[in-house]
Each structure stands twice: as C-alpha cells, then as structure tokens.
Amino acid sequence: MTEMTTRPITTVPVKLGDRSYDILIGAGLIDQAGQEISRRAKAVRVAVVSDETVAGLHLDRLTKGLDAAGIHSTPVLVAPGEKSKGFATLETVTNAILAARLERGDIVIAFGGGVIGDLAGFAAGIARRGMGFVQMPTSLLAQVDSSVGGKTGINTAHGKNLVGVFYQPQLVLADTDVLDTLSPREFRAGYAEIAKYGLIDRPDFFAWLEKNWRGIFAGGRERTEAIAVSCRSKAEVVARDERETGDRALLNLGHTFGHAFETATNYDSTRLVHGEAVSIGMVLAHQFSAKMNLASPDDAARVEAHLRTVGLPVSIGDIPGEMPPADKLMDYIAQDKKVARGALTFILTRGIGQSFIAKDVPPSAVLSFLQEKHPK
C-alpha cells in the first residue's frame, strides 16, 4: 500500500436522508479524488470548474488522479476573485459544461475557494436541471464553511448571494495540504469562519482557539482539529435546518453587516475579502448586542481582541478606501436575505457562544449604531 493511501483521513457525515454525504478532511485528497469519487458515483466524466490561480497550482495533480480512476475531465477555468461570481461567468461555465456534452449523471467538481464553490454549485444545480456535484475546497474559508450545506449562488448589483439555489454536493474533499499555498491574508480570512463556530454556540471551542490559534496557522494536528470541529458544527446545523427556515440562520453571525460592506466595496478583493467582512461583522454584532444591553461589553472586547491578534480587521475604519455613509450601508442591509417583509433580522448574542436570532430589530437602532461606528 502506498503512503498516499495510509495518511489519516477524518470523515464528517452530513445527514440528510437519501441525500446524505461525507466530508473527508486530510492531506493528499487531491491525489485520491478519483478513487473517492469512483466509490460513490458511476460517472466517468466530470467538468472541473476552477480559477486560473488554483488550476496553475493543483490542476495537474487532480487530473492525474481522475485519469488513474478512469474518469475523463474537462477543465473550465475562470478568473480568480469575487467578480467572477456573477451572471456573465455563470453563463460561461454553464455553456462550457453543455459544450463538453456532459450528461445529468455526470459530475461538476468545484475546485477552488468559496467563489468557485458557489458558482460551480449553482451551475451544477441548473445545468440539465441538476447534475452530480462534488466540492473540492482549496481555501480554509471554503473548507470550513461554504463547501458544506448546499448553498450556491451568485452576486448582483443589489447584494451578495441574492440569486442561487440550495443544491447539496455528493461529496466534499478537503485536502489540508493545499492550505499551505494560501497567502497569509486568505488563511486569516478563513480563520474568521472557524472563530464563528465558537462564537455561535461553542464557547469552549472559542477559548481553545484563543490558546491554539498559532498551531492552526502553523499546520498539523491543531489545524485538522479546527477544521473538523467547524465541519461537524455546520453539518449538525444543516441536518436540522437544510433550507434556513430556523436555526441555520445562526451561521450568518456577522454576515448581515459583512455582506453590506462587501457590496459597498463592489466585491473588490484588494479592499475586502469575505472572511474579513465577516470578522468586522462579528465584532459589530457583539458590540451592537452590548449597546442593546443584551451582552457584556467585555465579551465584545474579547472577540475584538482575539480577531485583531490573529491579524483580522475588526472595524469599518479598517477597510481601505472610502466607505459609503451609514444610511447607504443601511440600504444594503435592507436588501440582505436576512430581511423578511422589511423587518431586520440579525444574529445577536448574549455572550461568547450564546448567539440567537433577533427578529424585528429596529432599523433606527442599527442606523444609530452604524453612525457611531463609521469612521466619518
């Protein structure tokens, strides 16, 4: 037996009845992808949707592994970055899948970060009214969050992720080796989503992160453990509430503020990437909760201190360039998917690991808070 097949793999199940699937976490999974897909699907043809950066680093390895398993692959490459997550690129990807004559039983592999996962998943969900789909996330953020749970979609001028479908993958392969090729900034952005799971309902995990974050950044046992805990946390929530009609909304901690900032910066990754927006949003959610007398200011300060320590932005003023005024940010918040019949819904907190869904949050209170926190 080769060394590749003896390397430890952690399996996290996502339990959704006849649509259940596994998340595999470990080193070397790019090389083993053909084997793992063959065990679970009859498809012999796949489209590998990736961006040019990821493809340049890892596509040859993936293709060799697929070839060894008798799986023919067609690469579909797009430009890296959030701006590829729109209607124009969706049309390009979908047309490429159809031009390759892939059939409904064949598979679309999302091989990249969160942008690729959302884009390729949406294409898989609508091409031929639904094809096979495998997530192979290559960023930390995608491995712990966006690759799990079946949310797919694209951005519009009105806001982030406003067009899409819930479409579950058949398998998630999270190769921890590829994380070593991430820039420090992208790794930190992914770490924000790991911290989120502790802040939602796992206070002991957040305390563990405060002590062990350096090991996560360095790699090894702590990194794999943090990814596995994050995936288990999300898998449990998705199994209870697949389509976000209940407590899956807790996973949006920090996102209502964060999405508004992403829209305000026109998804310009040189200014702000998703995990950075979530970091700022989580700090603001805790500060707003303290302002509303729901939580202690000490908890907000603790969250801010930890995220700042690992190198993440924690305030609106940390976003490079000029930001729109508070009332314009409120317009973006009003377009967010967490709005129901005009009433604002936020994920707020009563303390570390005590997040809850707050409905009918007064817009005037949010506007006043944003005006207070705006650098102007």
Catalytic residue selected from 186, 252, 337, 373 = 252
Residues facing 25 on adjacent strands? 10, 174
Per DSSP bridges, beta strands 355-361 and 343-349 are antiparallel
Residues 6+ apart with CB under 8 A from 244: none
Cα Rg of the chain (Å, integer)? 20
Distance CA 143, CA 145 (A): 6
Alpha-carbon distances of 51 from 113, 121, 199, 268, 321, rounded to whole Å: 9, 14, 32, 17, 27
Active site residue 72: no
Catalytic residue selected from 255, 337, 338, 373 = 255
Catalytic residue selected from 160, 202, 223, 274 = 274
Catalytic residue selected from 223, 234, 306, 373 = 234
Catalytic residue selected from 58, 223, 259, 373 = 259
Q: For Cα atoms 347, 151, 233, give the angle at the middle one, nearest 5 degrees.
A: 60
Catalytic residue selected from 36, 82, 186, 193 = 193
Catalytic residue selected from 160, 202, 232, 248 = 248
Active site residue 252: yes
Active site residue 223: no
Catalytic residue selected from 39, 42, 101, 129 = 129
Residue 34: name the closest of 167, 136, 184 by CA: 136
* 87-90: Cβ within 8 A, 24+ apart: 87/154, 87/156, 87/163, 89/119, 89/154, 90/119, 90/122, 90/123, 90/154
Q: Which amino acid is at 194?
A: I
How big, in percent rounded to 5, are the helix, strand and coil portions of the chain?
55, 20, 25
Active site residue 240: no
Residues facing 356 on adjacent strands? 348
Active site residue 158: no
**Exposed/middle/buried for residue 372 (C-beta within 10 Å: 0-12, 13-18, 19+):** exposed
Active site residue 58: no
Active site residue 286: no
Distance CA 181, CA 20 (A): 31
Contact 28, 177 (CB under 8 A): yes
Active site residue 129: yes
Catalytic residues: 129, 151, 193, 234, 244, 248, 252, 255, 259, 274
